[in-house]
Structure 1
Amino acid sequence: MPEIPDVPSLWRFPAHPASVKRARDAVAEHLPHRLRPQLHAEMSLLTSELVTNAVRHGAAADDVVELVLWPADGHYWLAVSDPSPARPVLRTQPPPLDAESGRGLLLVDALAAAWAVVPRPHRGKSVVAGLTLADGG
């Protein structure tokens, strides 16, 4: 009999800056305690950056931002979805030192084992990023 995979965790938050902390806390609380502390810190940073981008650039005030978290293939994956079809752009150069924004995708790119922007079938997009598990599973 095949092993039943873990069911992905799903959250929906209002497209509001306060949702960034709520999303970060929800993801951190759901990660298994056995995982190394570094994975918690890295996933927290990924969550903050992706949800912040979705709230600022991908959703109107009355929209929601959706998060899905799941383990697969030796990684923990996070998908953050918003209703905008506009794709985020990875800068080729870091922003000026005094800039207050513009580093989010650079951090995602540096932390994630892989990441991509995936169009949603009916509306919007998902930004999916994965962190490698220390023990491969």
Structure 2
Amino acid sequence: MTAHTTLRHRHVLTLSAQPAAVAVARKTAEYVYRTWGVHPRHPALAAALLMLSELVTNSVRHAAEVSPSLDVLYAVGGGVLAFAVHDRHPHRPDLTTIAKPGGGLAIIAELTTEYAGTATVRPDADAGGKSIWITLPLQ
């Protein structure tokens, strides 16, 4: 069973691929995770908010032309905090070979490693888009 199938709480938010989506996605994350019992000062939450902001920013910057909306999925369960950003742009970044140190994907790779989490790019069934999933342990 994969981690995302054991997540007890889920919330999906669809946003226009506009710059304001970053703040809305982040505020929604703060709200839903707090509602599900994740302490606002939990170190994994701070890392998650930064990574979420980077992923939504990337969708807005690079995918908006072919994907005018994006979905953000928030989840918690089994000692794991998870989220995903989905857009319909077919490009799937390779999260294992980050070319630009200090860039958004490099930050995601560093924080995922630092917090013993996972980062996975999952293509849509029709290969016309993708979801980037992040999981972070809450222990």
Query: TM-score when scaled to structure 1?
Result: 0.79
Distance in 1, matches of 2:92 and 2:66, equals 19
Unpaired segments ≥5 residues, structure 1: 96-101
Distance in 1, matches of 2:88 and 2:60, equals 10
What secondary structure, in the 3-state scheme, does the structure 1 residue paired with 2:125 have?
coil
Question: What is the RMSD computed on CA atoms of the aligned residues?
Answer: 2.3
Q: Which residue of 1 aligns with 2:32?
A: 30
What secondary structure, in the 3-state scheme, does the structure 1 residue paired with 2:8 have?
coil
Q: Which residue of 2 aligns with 1:129?
A: 134
Query: TM-score when scaled to structure 2?
Result: 0.78
Distance in 2, matches of 1:10 and 1:60, equals 22
Q: Which residue of 2 aligns with 1:20?
A: 22
Q: Which residue of 1 aligns with 2:82?
A: 77
Distance in 1, matches of 2:7 and 2:50, equals 26
Please say if residues 123 and 131 of structure 2, whose CA atoms lie closer than 8 Å, have aligned partners that are also in contact: yes
> Is 1:115 the equivalent of 2:119?
yes
* Counterparts in 2 of 1:29 and 1:62: CA distance versus 1, 3 Å: same
* Counterparts in 2 of 1:63 and 1:70: CA distance versus 1, 3 Å: same
Q: Which residue of 1 aligns with 2:3?
A: none
In the alignment of these two chains, the number of paired residues is: 125
Amino acid at match of 2:124: R
Unpaired segments ≥5 residues, structure 2: 1-5
Q: Give the structure with higher Rg (CA).
A: 1
Higher percent of residues as helix: 2
1:6 to partner: Cα distance: 2.6
1:77 to partner: Cα distance: 1.0
